Structure 1
Amino acid sequence: MAAGELHERTDLSDLLVERMKELDLSYRRLEDLCVDPASDEAGVEHQATEPLWKRGTLENLAKRRRIKTPDLPQLRALAAGLQLPLDQVRAAAGAQYLGIDTVWSADGKVRALVQGFREMDPEDQDKVIALMESRRRIRRGT
């Protein structure tokens, strides 16, 4: 995919747009808020107050244009800026950039990362969920 082309999956883009509306954030304000909360830990090269997202990159992401795949510090920074759990932002990024869907059990206690889950037919999706449930029963000893 060439620069400027649109992504097929837009999970992270959609999450960004939705959350910016909810928080009434501009791209410039979100840029300022996108600081990695773990950046003050030992071994991290950037300064604690350095935003890891630029306004133009955020705008391109929101418009579903192709950007470089974000790394973990960038995802932590975006989660902080959007005031969302990191797992939610990581799941959206995994779906958009890698086609990996996060699938949860009915009770929300078991999670699986499944490539192309959304594209599976319902029968195969049910098999994945049944496998998750069976593994949970094995671990609990029931």
Structure 2
Amino acid sequence: MAQADGERTDLSDLVRQRKEELGLSFRALADACVDPERPEKGALWGRSTLDTLTKGGQIKPPTAEKLRALAAGLRLPLSEVREAAGGQYWGVDTLRTEDRKVRAFIRNFEELSPADQEKVWALMEAHRPVRDQD
């Protein structure tokens, strides 16, 4: 999820792929991007901004309300959209244990050495919730 220049494109990729899956035009997607917590504000994304984003162009990092609106428009969980934005704009990777019970946010995880990546995974495993023995 990076361009040739090293810039990450997590959110751009997610929006482009999901737009295609849903068969939406940029106009239809823009119209559907309404923050469910503040619907009276209307659509928060413009067609041209979405077009720029999906082509890897630069846009301002989206606000929380714009991420909620984008998640609604894409019909995806907000967490998925937030994680993609975190990766693209702040270099934050979301890691989860296999059972998804432990989650960690690590800046530039892929840049860590394999040994350091293993340490992160071991730390996450050590913090896995213990099941009741009843």
TM-score relative to the length of structure 1 = 0.84
Query: What's the counterpart of residue 81 of structure 1?
Result: 73
Pick from 95, 109, 120 the counterpart of residue 101 of structure 2: 109
RMSD of aligned C-alpha atoms? 1.7
Unpaired stretches in structure 1, ≥5 consecutive residues:
1-5, 41-46
Q: Which amino acid aligns with 2:84?
A: A
Residue 90 and residue 7 in structure 1: after superposition, are their counterparts in 2 closer, same or farther (change >3 A)?
A: farther
Query: 2:16 aligns to what?
Result: 17
Equivalent runs, 1:91-102 vs 2, <5 Å: 91-102=83-94
Q: Give the gaps of 5 or more residues in structure 2.
A: none
Question: In 1, distance between residues paired with 2:121 and 2:58?
Answer: 32
Maintained 8 Å contact 1:7/1:96 = no
User: Could you tell me how far 1:7 is from its partner in structure 2?
Assistant: 7.3
Secondary structure class of the residue paired with 2:127: helix
1:30 aligns with 2:29: yes
Distance in 1 between the 2:6 and 2:46 partners?
Answer: 19
Report the alpha carbon displacement of residue 135 of structure 1 after superposing the two structures with TM. Answer: 1.8
The one-letter code matched in structure 2 to 1:132 is M
Greater relative contact order structure (CA < 8 Å, 6+ sep): 1
Shift of residue 140 of structure 1?
A: 2.8
Aligned to 1:119: 111
Identity %: 53
Amino acid at match of 2:21: E
**TM-score, length basis structure 2:** 0.89
Counterpart residue identity of residue 104, structure 2: A
- Within 5 Å, give how 1:53-92 maps onto structure 2: 53-92=45-84
